Structure 1
Amino acid sequence: MPTELTSHLIRRARPDDARHIEALYRELIGDAEVRVLPARIAQVADDPSAALLVLESGGVLRASALVNLCADVMFGSQPFAVVENIVVDATCRGQGWGTALLRWIEEDCKDRGCSKIMLLSSVERSEAHRFFMHCGFSDSKKKGFIKYRRDFR
């Protein structure tokens, strides 16, 4: 459901947002090969366990995050959330939009009964790490590991 936060709107991404999200992702990882497909955004929109969110201001996308709810059996039927590809347009950082987006995600996860929210961040993004800790995330409770497709056996 769209939510208005001051002059910002947080909503699910639509296929016609693809090129704007692609630009944000390229900014995030610096890879010109990033391709965001409108059809894939439509698939994610149809998945009740996933939400590709965007924050727009003045009709322009300023931030995005992908949230996936994962089924779990440890705490009854409580899912947990994994947040990925969190990005705020570099020209707009420090204006509270990333905080607004993460607060929206946290409230939604609370409403859905999630036991926790997890996210990963590249080790060199120390500014992002400070931001995540400012938003209440801990870097001392767990340690994340990753293996990329190119490293699969």
Structure 2
Amino acid sequence: MSLVRRASLRDADQLAGLSSQLGYPISKTELTRLLEDLELDSDHEIFVLEDQEGQICGFVHVLVAKRIFLEGFAELGGLVVDQACRGEGYGKQLLEAAERWSANKGMGEMRVRSNVTRTVAREFYLGQGYLDNKKQTVFLKIL
């Protein structure tokens, strides 16, 4: 039986490893600092999923997004399931936890941004009832 729970500082090392699997390497120290910051922000939540042995097999970061010209909405900041744990329904469980949290926050919709090269992720979200709503370009400038 798996367990979805809120992330804690003691999870930083495993979350850093999972972030690397997603393509975003981060040190345990930096991730700990980010977790400390997000613990103080009620518009962000991170859930982890533990398998029956208590190992963290994935996490999801969900947040309330606010724009001056739009009604607030929930957005996934990231979702990753360990490569060794995929195919067990853990991604669906994490996504459902994020959706429940968002609904409890009064959000009427959830948005997910996914790189077009992540074809497996695209199929996953479509399979969970998400619509391919928009294509856009992300501009970046190093400051």
34 and 147 in structure 1: CA distance in 2 versus 1, 3 angstrom threshold: farther
Matched, 1:113 2:102: no
Q: 2:119 maps to which residue?
A: 126
Matched, 1:146 2:141: no
Matched, 1:19 2:13: yes
- Mark the runs of 5 or more structure 1 residues left unpaired by the alignment: 1-6
Percent identity between the two aligned chains:
27
- Mark the runs of 5 or more structure 2 residues left unpaired by the alignment: none
TM value normalised by structure 2: 0.86
Read off the aligned partner of 2:64 and give its amino acid letter. Answer: L
Q: 1:64 maps to which residue?
A: 59
**1:2-52 Cα shifts (integer Å, max 9, x gaps):** xxxxx12212211111110010011111x5x42243132122112100012
Q: 1:3 maps to which residue?
A: none
102 and 144 in structure 1: CA distance in 2 versus 1, 3 angstrom threshold: farther
Q: Could you tell me how far 1:109 is from its partner in structure 2? A: 1.4
Counting only pairs closer than 5 Å after superposition, residues 35-74 of structure 1 correspond to structure 2 as 35=27, 36-57=30-51, 58-71=53-66
- The separation in 1 between residues aligned to 2:81 and 2:74, in whole angstroms, is 20
RMSD: 2.0
**1:75-119 Cα shifts (integer Å, max 9, x gaps):** 7xx631110221000111111000011111112212221121111
Count of aligned pairs between the two proteins: 140
144 and 59 in structure 1: CA distance in 2 versus 1, 3 angstrom threshold: farther
Q: Could you tell me how far 1:145 is from its partner in structure 2? A: 3.3
Q: Could you tell me how far 1:152 is from its partner in structure 2? A: 4.2
- The separation in 2 between residues aligned to 1:48 and 1:55, in whole angstroms, is 20
**1:41-77 Cα shifts (integer Å, max 9, x gaps):** 12211210001221111211111111110235667xx
- The separation in 2 between residues aligned to 1:124 and 1:59, in whole angstroms, is 32
